[in-house]
Amino acid sequence: MGTQSSQRQTQARGRAICRTCKSCRQKKVKCDGQHPKCGTCRRKNQDCEYPRDGRKTAVRAKKEDIKSLEEQVEELKGQIRRRATVENASSTDNIHPHETLDHSNSGSRCSRGCPNEPKCDQSLQDQLTCQNNGGKTCPDPDPLDGRQIQVYGATSLLPSYLEAPADCQTKENNEDSFLRSITRDRLIAFSAIIRQKETIIYSTPSIAANIDFDGASVDMAMHLLELHWNRLHFMYLLTYRPLIMDSLFNNGPYMNKLLLNAIYLQSSLYSDRVSLRSGPDDSRTMGMAFYDRFKTLLIHYVDKPSLPTVVALLTCGACLLQYGKQSASWVYCGMAYRMIIDLGYHLEDPRSSQGREDARLSALDKEVRRRVYWGAYANDKFQSLYLGRPPGLQQSHSNVPRDLFDSYEELEEWKPYIDPQARLDDISVPVYPGRPSYALSTFQCLLQLSVITEAIISAFYSTKDAKAPEHDLLQSRQTVKAQLDRWRETLPAHLLFDPKRDETPPPHQMTLYTTYWTLVILTEQPFLARGHFEFTAIPELQNELKKKCIEASLEIRDLIEAYRKAFSLRRAQYGISYAMYSAVIVLLQHTDQDCDEYTEAIRFFWLALLEYQNGCGHGLKGPLRLLKSLMRRVEKVVKRMDIDHPGTTESLASNDTQFGIEAILPTETFEQGEAWSESWLNVETDDLFLADDTIFGFFAQE
């Protein structure tokens, strides 16, 4: 009996362990399987271990367990289907654009897409918000029971039609990934279909003739819209193209005449058509007819906040900086920020404007509101830098996620827009191969810089924080530096760019780098400005600060040179001019060092700013006058270039003689070669100023 029991144990053990020992298995050599040690292990006098055979020791699942798991899977599938049905009914259901753009029956067609109207071809945004209202006209996205949607805080005595979610930290990552993917796919499909239908406007004049372009010809309106979508739209993604174009074609709620004229005005700066000038011989009047129309229309929209009105105010306010109308720019954008708060766009997922209390905003509404809020936020930060004024929107007052679902534009090809009326042999039109726009990823990176900008302004350029203890300010500097370093280290690979090696990316991607280096200067510069803080940095720290500022200035020079060669500076965004101005001011402080590179860079920036000013930077008259005064005090600069007559160069070519250098920058203030032994930051002259003794702001005393 004992022998049989031992044999059974040996057989069981043989079934439970592998026939090859661990050592032979790893070396992939034949094992004789002897126990307790195989022959190979005995010869090498090493441990021999036979691992357990997982195939023989695995426990089979019981039929009852399998059946239970199958039931759980079916139950989860049912929950997903039920959630998808509810979601489709309340937010992403019926995502189909217009079946036709035929406006021949527009008089009998419901512009809101009512389901009971036989001739109604519902657009996507209509169907997202339109429920069966018994044949009544569907409500606009913003009104609620005849009242304006308005948001009031907890301390207000006024009622709140929209409330912030109970948990302000609830974000999109709490949503079901399956439903999010459905929403993303449908939004992208909608964008693709609307983009295809835009081509109908060009090929079918009868359809275009029925679209209300507010007095502009079809050719001119489409020219200005194409300019907008090609350049200006990519800066902040404020204008959500599929909704705006669909509303334009079908009289939808996301476009009004105020926004249309704001786009016309902004695009006019980037057009070469002389017919857009109010004065044929004065390029500074380009598009002014649209601005007059904008101001006339504003009185009809200012007391009725809506999404298109918000976008119109932001669009107009941003471009007025380049027209030199800084006060109007600040006021219009300020009105837009107030409307954003009033409408609750700073709060994610407010209650729907429809009558049902449990109805949520549609997928399109969420997408466009996120874009408007974050576009306004970014515009606010960089406009604040440009003007040297405190921002109007604070990140801490909102809970809007930065995720955008519609990624149609991310990989769309980008090429500079060429006016069909331009001459084919026009050498001013650069040859540029198409490249992916990377619109969303670029915008996300810009938003990160916007958040850092808010921190820089708060820490170093506010009245309160400028008087903070030295330790706190130096700690804030280290924090901001770490944020900037982290931004650069985590930049997506497809957005990496070296101006000395790589081909120049599209303008909106270039702005990322010029903005980054400008923020580096703004972080270090206040510690060099005597009297800005209540302490003076130690010499070792000052040397570090100067080195970093000079590095940033020279990096900006390389970026601007690449930008100019690829696109020219006559149509650059105003943030480019701010970066150039910041860089040249830094270099002017260090011309006492025997470095010809600094002087040559100053000359380059001077000519580049003039080129930009002769293009769409009409508002640089004051800053350039001040810069000219500073340059005339630097002997090395005076010797290297004739500031008053820099010569006829390609960058200064202009047919507008009245708008030349002498007209905008008359000789004044200083004699050439006047000594400048002290830093310009310490000169107390009315003509030499910068906000808070720093480069923060162009127009502190204009």
- What amino acid occupies position 651? S
Give the residue from 3, 311, 252, 322 showing the smallest Cα distance to 103. 252
- In this structure, what token pair is assigned to residue 79? 């929950």
Where residue 132 falls (left for φ over 0; alpha for ψ -120 to 50; beta otherwise) is beta
Contact in structure between 284 and 322 (CB atoms under 8 Å): no
Compute CA 71 distance to the chain's CA centroid, rounded to the nearest angstrom: 47
How far apart CA 513 and CA 58 sit, in angstroms, is 58
What is the sign of the dihedral through the CA atoms of 345, 351, 355 and 359? positive
> Radius of gyration of the chain from Cα atoms?
33
Contact in structure between 526 and 455 (CB atoms under 8 Å): no
How far apart CA 197 and CA 8 sit, in angstroms, is 80
How far apart CA 441 and CA 492 sit, in angstroms, is 8
- In this structure, what token pair is assigned to residue 154? 């907890």
- In this structure, what token pair is assigned to residue 206? 């009868």
| pLDDT under 70: residue ranges of the chain | 1-16, 54-62, 81-176, 349-361, 422-430, 465-466, 592-594, 639-642, 644-702
The confidence score (pLDDT) of residue 677 equals 31
Q: What is the pTM of this model?
A: 0.73
User: Residue ranges per domain, the chain?
Assistant: 178-349+361-406, 435-639
The confidence score (pLDDT) of residue 668 equals 36
β-pair partners for 148: 143
How far apart CA 437 and CA 414 sit, in angstroms, is 5
Contact in structure between 281 and 658 (CB atoms under 8 Å): yes
How far apart CA 274 and CA 292 sit, in angstroms, is 18
CA atoms within 13 A on the CB side of 435: 18
CB atoms within 10 A of CB 282: 13
- In this structure, what token pair is assigned to residue 700? 């502190």
* Bridge pairing between strands 143-144 and 435-436: unpaired
The confidence score (pLDDT) of residue 83 equals 64
DSSP 41: H
Phi then psi for residue 671, to 5 deg, are: -85, 150
Contact partners, residue 596, CB within 8 Å, separation at least 6 = none
Where residue 342 falls (left for φ over 0; alpha for ψ -120 to 50; beta otherwise) is alpha
Compute CA 93 distance to the chain's CA centroid, rounded to the nearest angstrom: 29
How far apart CA 113 and CA 98 sit, in angstroms, is 10
DSSP 304: S
DSSP 414: E
β-pair partners for 354: none
How far apart CA 129 and CA 141 sit, in angstroms, is 7
Contact partners, residue 429, CB within 8 Å, separation at least 6 = 416, 418, 422
The confidence score (pLDDT) of residue 672 equals 34
Nearest-10 Cα torsion for 192, 193, 196, 202: -130
The confidence score (pLDDT) of residue 691 equals 37
**Where would I find the beta strands (DSSP E) of 578-626?**
none
